[in-house]
Amino acid sequence: MVSGTPQSSYIVVDGISLPLNRTPPTPGAVVVGPQRGPRVVLTMPTFDGYDPLPAQSFSEAAEVSSQSWLCLAVSLDYPPIREAWGETAGWLAPAVDFADFKEQFGVFAPRLGLLVPALFVIDTSDRLLYCEVVNALDAKVDFNAAREVLLG
């Protein structure tokens, strides 16, 4: 199942639209990294103060699915912040090559110097099954919609 909403290449902050570095990929596109195999990638401006419970529920569902899904949390946070959040939520917090990552995923807001909230589900052949890039910096991703794609 390939799913997701059409993605904008802008994010709204305090009523102002700011461009992202590129248009995010659409479901069906081939996406390389981070890591290999079936994976879910969550990006955030920061994980400091971000509620880990919805992500924890999602990662628990991923663990019991028929595939072995990696759940990866990516931001430009100080690594101990990402790692502490990831440990609580049951997500890995890998180091990524930022230059490659921002070009593959299109979720970097250059004027802010931040990754925007987004959620990607990528299968074993690197095909994007689900993509959600929220339209406002303070909006939350929809783990339930991604869970439906993940569990089929």
Distances (CA, A) of 27 to 52, 57, 100, 129: 26, 23, 19, 5
Q: What is the pLDDT of residues 58-93, one digit of tens each?
A: 999 998 888 889 999 999 999 999 999 999 999 999
Between residues 65 and 16, which one has the greater pLDDT?
Answer: 16
Q: What is the pLDDT of residues 84-118, one digit of tens each?
A: 999 999 999 998 999 899 999 999 999 999 999 99
- The pTM of this model reads 0.93
Q: What is the pLDDT of residues 107-148, one digit of tens each?
A: 999 999 999 999 999 999 999 999 999 999 999 999 999 999
Tokens of 60: 């628990």
The residue among 106, 95, 31, 97 whose CA lies nearest residue 86 is 95
**What pLDDT, on the 0 to 100 scale, is given for residue 5?**
52
Tokens of 29: 């596109």
- Contact between 120 and 40 under an 8 Å Cβ cutoff? The reply is yes
Q: Which domains does the chain have, with CATH numbers?
A: 3-151 (3.40.30.10)
Max alpha carbon distance in the chain (Å)? 42
DSSP string, 95-137: ---HHHHHHHH--EETTTTEEPPEEEEE-TTSBEEEEEE-SBT
Check residue 66 and report its DSSP letter.
Answer: S
Helix/strand number for the chain, H first, E second? 4, 9
**What pLDDT, on the 0 to 100 scale, is given for residue 3?**
52
Tokens of 63: 């663990």
Q: What is the pLDDT of residues 25-70, one digit of tens each?
A: 999 999 988 889 999 999 999 999 999 999 999 999 998 888 889 9
Whether pLDDT at 1 is above 50: no
